[in-house]
Amino acid sequence: MNEYTYTTERQEDSQIFAAKCNEIPWLSWFAETEEKAIEGIKNIVYTIENQFFSVHHSQ
């Protein structure tokens, strides 16, 4: 697995946190807590990476 850098910021107009993966800048995950936002973005990056890995190794 690759190492990724994650960041979060709180949306000023709400109580929602936005998490991003710096290496995949178009991807975001929103949650009510910073911890859940980080957990969500990590899960989706893991899913994307595993799907990419399995597609390229099955060909």
Looking at residue 11, what is its pLDDT?
86
Structural domain that includes position 14: 6-58
> For residue 1, is it within any domain?
no
Classify 36 as helix, strand or coil.
helix
> For residue 50, is it within any domain?
yes
CB-based contact 30:16 (threshold 8 Å): yes
Predicted TM-score (pTM) of this structure = 0.80
CA distance 34 to 12: 14
CA distance 57 to 33: 36
> For residue 42, is it within any domain?
yes
> For residue 44, is it within any domain?
yes
How do residues 2-59 score in pLDDT, each as one tens digit?
689 999 999 888 899 999 999 999 999 999 999 999 999 999 999 998 887 666 566 5
- What is the domain count for the chain? 1
> For residue 47, is it within any domain?
yes
> For residue 16, is it within any domain?
yes
